Amino acid sequence: MSTQGHATSTRVDEIADGIFRISTPVPPSIVPGGFTFNQYVIRDDEPLLFHTGPRMLFGAVRDAVERILPLSTLRYISFSHVEADECGSLNQLLAAAPRAVPLCGQVAAMVSIGDLADRPPVALADQASVALGRHAVQWIDAPHLPHGWECGFLFETATRTLLCGDLFTQFGESHPPITEDDILEPSEAGRLAMDYYSHSPDTGRLLDRLADTAPATLACMHGPAWRGDGATLLRSLAARLASAPPRH
């Protein structure tokens, strides 16, 4: 995969108070159907970046963060699970941001990040919170949802924004930064073509726990962010996953 030449189209949009979506499109020649890689910055006393992007997007993500705040002031670099687009350029960012530390769940720290990262991570237990200033984030363990034993999500409590990673992934390279339109059907269409879910027995229970946070904004990693009744949408996804077995 090469995304060189496309990074210039990286855009930055504020999708909730003090929360910025960085999005880089890639064309169908690189990912079938076209795709977007999104990262989110929470601008506060202790700034947080959620997802790093793959290593080949490091320059684009670095420059986009600099449009929001000085990269050197980053305090936390967090991510849902260990994959290239979630945390591939973690060490490049740690080198560029001397105050920053990785922030992840305990399983990610134990299995991967304690070894892979150039600085030790802060490992959060399920439901543990970190104050950033006027924002705060809570880590929610979500093993294997949609994939990865170490998977989890951050919920930002001041804006009720769920940084929901790969949930509701939508293909396509052109999206608005945030939408109130339905994202369940387009994301389900993508999932049925390329099923990235582990379909663990806990999937429904974990989605129910995420719904209990009653998010008002879903900060999706691939596709537009979404604004609306997040609890209902998450429970609708749980129903679809329970009723529609994966196509292999």
Q: Rounded to whole angstroms, how far apart are CA atoms 212 and 225? A: 19
Q: Rounded to whole angstroms, how far apart are CA atoms 208 and 197? A: 16
Q: Which is nearer to Fe ion, 150 or 166 (CB)?
A: 166
Supply 227's token pair. Answer: 């604004």
Shortest Cβ 151–Fe ion spacing (Å): 8
Q: Which is nearer to Fe ion, 131 or 194 (CB)?
A: 194
Q: Which is nearer to Fe ion, 3 or 46 (CB)?
A: 3
Other beta carbons within 10 angstroms of residue 117's beta carbon come to 19
Q: Which is nearer to Fe ion, 51 or 135 (CB)?
A: 51
Q: Rounded to whole angstroms, how far apart are CA atoms 195 and 29? A: 20
Shortest Cβ 147–Fe ion spacing (Å): 6
Shortest Cβ 101–Fe ion spacing (Å): 22
Which residues are registered as beta bridge partners of 226? Answer: 179, 218
Binding site for Fe ion (CB under 5 A): 83, 85, 166, 221
| Phi, psi dihedral angles at 104 (to 5 degrees) | -155, 180
Q: Which is nearer to Fe ion, 124 or 221 (CB)?
A: 221
Angle between helices 230-243 and 203-211 (to 10 degrees): 170
Other beta carbons within 10 angstroms of residue 225's beta carbon come to 27
Shortest Cβ 72–Fe ion spacing (Å): 26
Half-sphere exposure of 211 (CA within 13 A, CB side): 16
CB-based closest residue to Fe ion: 166
Shortest Cβ 59–Fe ion spacing (Å): 19
